[in-house]
Structure 1
């Protein structure tokens, strides 16, 4: 059997040094058509074994194994995160549904707010109409009048005018009574001007 090997200077020996170590008979066994199924299986197994010894093939195989390992690790990590992701998905869906419901309900809420605002403005406007302000002025004038009368009666009868039970002296009575009556007459004059429509109210 011819056991000569390819020349080390040949392109085959340069690109595939592992194959260059094979004899011509071994190379012939790799490329010749098998005579039967048994030889075909042997040839295929031999060729696979030879290919896996080549550096480039080995590098590709190692790269494939690393990629497969990375994919398996990523799949395992995703499986661990699956419950969290499903819960987050459900929460996101619920939040989205709530947002849609709120968006659908907003027109009605906006109408209610607008109506409430109109009622509030109307109420405030009524409180500051000329007739309402005149009524409030009348009540305030009556309140000052009653307060001055109460002070005068307490002074005349010698009754206490404070929660502490103090009896008011002459000087204090004159000062307080004068202030109350002055305020009363000012409000009375303003009320009279209102009755004559000489006062313009500005809300």
Structure 2
């Protein structure tokens, strides 16, 4: 190996050692930060999994209490659940049990307090609450909470029920007719809506013949 090559290698080594002296602390700090981030992410994931498991246990306990018919004990159990799917499902189960026990006002209060991030679940809660409000003679409140621009057949049917309860037959006819456009011919739900439409003076449209 030539002396020039040795000098080049020595110079390169000195540069590397100099760079490490200047940047070693930052390099070590970066590695430490990276390890801390990885550990923090793993810890957060473990915490979330633990919380999900704990919520599942609490949810099942509330459901078991409801099955035993102990509404007084189940209500605080449901309220103690963390916000999320388990709490929403438990609230719906509680409202159903309250209604079965003849406690309609309690069921209304439970559904009013229920929150759902999932649009489908939120729609079900709104529909059930609206039906209870109609049954309680509060059809106007039911209409106010149902989305006016909804194309969901079930929501439209409930809107029709509310209008019918208020004696607004034309509006009820329009809601039922619109609900029918989203229902399969011959389905049980369609038959129910057609009957309701007839009761408010409407005429169900005949399904178009398919060639």
TM bucket normalised to smaller: 0.3 to 0.5
TM-score (norm 2): 0.34
Greater RCO, CA 8 A, separation 6+: 1
Structure with the greater alpha carbon radius of gyration: 1
TM-score with structure 1 setting the length: 0.36
